[in-house]
Structure 1
């Protein structure tokens, strides 16, 4: 009789171990796939372009509020950092203001490009300059120092002060390539952030810099320039009429999987593209009527 009791206890113990093991396995699956709740879980690191950080950060906060078991760490560091860190496997997603192919030290063939938004840019001038439109040729002459007074291009008799971003800035790279056709700006004031560029231009009569559209507001502290009579607007960027714009790239090393893919799909969702992207001052990638390749060639979509 005692023998039967012992066997019974052993059998019960084995059953309990089996149940616990099954529960443990289910927990691991939930962590990776969201389990039966339908919610995502896990963690990823996203970093790079400081210009993209507010947009990605806002999207991450919204995604995490909808998926409490998810942790998305959003870092800055610049576009170069985003590309190098995702290539080395330290970031799950690396953000950049320019194509990976434009950097010789980045293994672009190992990276997959996800264009999550578009940013439009134009020159910003002090209101007392007396201009709100320049031909592209005159714009290049101003920034290369060939023109030194606004009166030479139809403005007021006011000396021109150039305000640039530093080498390595994605904003500078975009403006130089598509606003100045690759020409190098003359020496002037150099500021590390777009906020500082706006402040310097607003405080300095005759100053000119360049900013993303989102930095222009109704206060009129700086004047956005039209180029060849084309206004700097989201609509004119979408149709390809306004030339100075860039993709906001989110790169992955190989095709994304798991939570990384879920978050990138979320970035391209109707809610994010139609609501959050414009609210953050960007242009939805899904609304572009033209597309541009790594060599700068533009075609209709």
Structure 2
């Protein structure tokens, strides 16, 4: 008799425990935030999401890359809660910026990188343009070694590519080249392949096996970005639906908080929106100094 009662009690207890776990998971899924898009922003979004969960235990934040184009299309389709992008939504075909809310979270610098064996540390803007448009094909043409130039471009959905081409190429057709969709992959290829050149975001450029290029004698530093002295940079946007739920807005508020802007953002190599001395419009034109 006692054993039967004990068995019933154990079954009842286990049932309550399972129900509690399921309820907790359901609540957790109710507050799930999926963030998709810019690979340049992925590092910041992942770390911020991890930190946020420590103090918001009922939250569930999932961060994925895929490119700015993917982020914008996914948030517009309501497939994700937040779409991250290096470019303004209104500049992208098929995206209705009017149904989205734009939050500028940070700024990221973009730097041309080359394999260390090319023998070049500085280019002019015009030389950079001529390389990526195919007019210059050998490093000896810009003071380097007699070595063919291999261009590694970013994939077409990349916001970093869109920003780079908007600032450097300005409508000139890029040379046909191998395309890669992530900063990490580009860095690895450039570090190991002779004659290569590409471009990546500042937070991914701290690798001794690659050579960061100066442009017109200007070094690629965050201080130079804040004044637009270094012109290769972009905003890191988080886009939500206009009617985003409160728990999503709470996370955005956290991203804009002093803790993130003054702590995590510079720690990871990004620039706080509060530190910029200039602003840009969607056409990459400086509108305020």
**TM-score, normalising length: structure 2:** 0.84
- Find the counterpart in structure 2 of residue 174 from structure 1: 163
* In structure 1, distance between residues paired with 2:35 and 2:136: 43
Determine if the alignment matches structure 1 residue 49 to structure 2 residue 38: yes
Give RMSD over aligned pairs.
1.9
Instruction: Give distance in 1, aligned partners of 2:132 and 2:159.
Output: 17
Instruction: After superposition, give the CA deviation of every residue in 1:186-225 in whole Å (9 maximum; x if it has no partner).
Output: 1233223222222222222221111111222252x11111
Match of 2:217 in 1: 229
SS of residue in 2 equivalent to 1:184: coil
Q: Is the 8 A contact 1:124 1:222 kept in 2?
A: yes
In structure 2, distance between residues paired with 1:73 and 1:245 = 26
The corresponding residue for 1:7 is none
CA distance in 1, matches of 2:277, 2:240: 25
Q: CA deviation at 1:255?
A: 5.8
TM alignment of 1:117-196, pairs within 5 A: 117-196=106-185
Q: 2: CA distance between counterparts of 1:100 and 1:290?
A: 20
Residue of structure 2 equivalent to 1:239:
227
Q: How does 1:1-301 map to 2 (within 5 A)?
A: 42-217=31-206, 219=208, 221-254=209-242, 256-300=244-288
* 8 A Cα contact 1:45 1:91, kept in partner: yes
Q: Which has the larger radius of gyration?
A: 1
Unaligned runs of 5+ in 2: 1-26
SS in structure 1 at match of 2:79: coil
Identify unmatched segments of 5+ residues in structure 1.
Answer: 1-30, 32-40
SS at match of 2:127: helix
| Structure 1 residues 71-107: Cα deviation after superposition (integer angstroms, max 9, x where no partner) | 2333333322221222232322221121101112111
* Aligned-partner SS, 2:90: helix
Q: Distance in 1 between matches of 2:32 and 2:150?
A: 47
SS of the residue aligned with 1:69? coil
- Distance in 1 between the 2:284 and 2:262 partners? 26
The worse-fitting range, judged by mean Cα deviation, of 123-132 and 242-251 is 123-132
Do 2:69 and 2:159's aligned partners in 1 also have CA atoms closer than 8 Å? no
**Separation in 2, partners of 1:261, 1:81:** 21
